[in-house]
Structure 1
Amino acid sequence: MPADLSPQKRALRAELRERRRNFTSTERSATAAGITERLIALAQSVGAKSVSCYLSATDEPDTRGFLRWADEQGIRALLPIARVDGLLDWAIAAGDDEEVGLFGMPEPVGELLAPTAINDVDLIIVPAACVDKRGVRLGWGRGYFDKTLGSMENCPPVYAVVFDTEVLDEVPRERHDQPVDGAVTPTRTLRFTADRT
């Protein structure tokens, strides 16, 4: 029977959350342009006409510049809305309308689309606490994205967005943890050979 990695994951999440809280607004602003630039280049490289992304919270790498660009380019962007049953509904990004969601995270305001709406996107951009060089992603512990990615038959490329210091040598992985194909940081885009088994 595999070891329970939950305590190890909780400790790592707490450490990373504290690091993010200690970033100054100047440091945070300095990373936003790099994240936007790299996300745009990534979307262009896959010829994305539709993407799924998320509204970044204050402590997260900023995805809002990318979402503004996608809107200007006519790229359809789906944003997640957490449900109490552990699934994600989606809404099409439309302007700056948002509200506080189930776990205190920003969520879009708009028509709800079913969890299967993500099946039509060309690129998936997910939040993460950290990733490792094998493509193992550590989320924030609720399993929404692992469940979503694990249920997709033809999953498009999946990229996590993290700060540079959150690309680690190794991240604990349990059976349900879904890998990512790459990571976008303020200074680089990394591609991994994701093991989806």
Structure 2
Amino acid sequence: MPADEIANHKRALRAELRERRRNKPFVTMERETEQLTAQLKALVGDLRATSLSAYLSAPTEPNTRPFLNWAREAGIRTLLPISRIDGLLDWTTGDGETEIVSHLGWPEAAGELLGPMAIDEVDLILVPASSVDRSGMRLGWGKGYFDKMLGSMGKWPPVFAVLFDDELVDEVPRERHDEPVDGVVTPSRIVPLSKRSKAWGLPEA
């Protein structure tokens, strides 16, 4: 498929997924937040992670905030991304309270900047996504920040995308710069997808 057709396909899929998320009932979001938090805690336990990177979820995304509160209380060092104008992600641990709106319109933590390479020291990376396919290919939201980060890492700890259940699909359109993930976490399950994830002893979904 020509590159312009792939890009158009991606835009159409993202628009459909955004609309689906906007229309999700509040009571469903509340229930799925509780379920997702339990799955994320289980993933941390399964991988014996003592440090991780995650992100502050936007209102229509799977809600990571209760999990982040739990991680802070549990003493798990958590890095949160700060988007830079040059297209890179910087990192901070934040203070658990202060938030800003980034130049991209995303919620971000405020705090001391630790530099882009701080991500190399974590045991687990949690990333947002609009959808992921069964091969592990991730469809992001079109800005390229997380693909660039994953593609430039010196080390590669386990990488899991956080999704709603119906966003794990058979196939997503792929471009050369797109980076895969090792698995997904949804409200109902943890799904290992990469070959190396099979060696981590995660329960099969």
Question: Same fold, TM exceeding 0.5?
Answer: yes
Question: What is the alpha-carbon distance in structure 2 between the residues aligned to residue 190 and residue 42 of structure 1?
Answer: 10
Deviation at 1:194, TM superposition (A): 5.9
Question: Residue 108 of structure 2 aligns to which amino acid in structure 1?
Answer: E
* Pairing 1:1-197 to 2, within 5 Å after superposition: 3-4=2-3, 5-193=6-194
Is the CA contact (8 Å cut-off) linking 2:94 and 2:109 kept in structure 1? yes
Structure 2 counterpart SS, 1:51: strand
Q: Which runs of 5+ in 1 are unaligned?
A: none
Question: What is the alpha-carbon distance in structure 1 between the residues aligned to residue 29 and residue 175 of structure 2?
Answer: 31
Is the CA contact (8 Å cut-off) linking 1:56 and 1:62 kept in structure 2? yes
User: RMSD across aligned C-alpha pairs, in angstroms?
Assistant: 1.2
Question: What is the alpha-carbon distance in structure 2 between the residues aligned to residue 35 and residue 124 of structure 1?
Answer: 16
TM-score where L is the length of structure 2: 0.92
Is the CA contact (8 Å cut-off) linking 1:180 and 1:194 kept in structure 2? no
Is the CA contact (8 Å cut-off) linking 2:162 and 2:184 kept in structure 1? yes
Q: Deviations over 1:81-120 (max 9, x none)?
A: 1111100011104222111112111100111111111010
Is the CA contact (8 Å cut-off) linking 2:88 and 2:116 kept in structure 1? yes
Question: What is the alpha-carbon distance in structure 1 between the residues aligned to residue 97 and residue 126 of structure 2?
Answer: 19
Q: Which runs of 5+ in 2 are unaligned?
A: 197-205
Question: What is the alpha-carbon distance in structure 2 between the residues aligned to residue 52 and residue 194 of structure 1?
Answer: 22
Question: What is the alpha-carbon distance in structure 1 between the residues aligned to residue 125 and residue 67 of structure 2?
Answer: 13
Deviation at 1:162, TM superposition (A): 0.5
Q: Deviations over 1:12-64 (max 9, x none)?
A: 00000010011121111111011111111101111111100000010000101
TM-score where L is the length of structure 1: 0.95
Question: What is the alpha-carbon distance in structure 2 between the residues aligned to residue 49 and residue 30 of structure 1?
Answer: 27
When the two structures are aligned, how many residues end up with a matched partner? 194
Moved over 3 A (4+): none
Is the CA contact (8 Å cut-off) linking 2:94 and 2:112 kept in structure 1? no
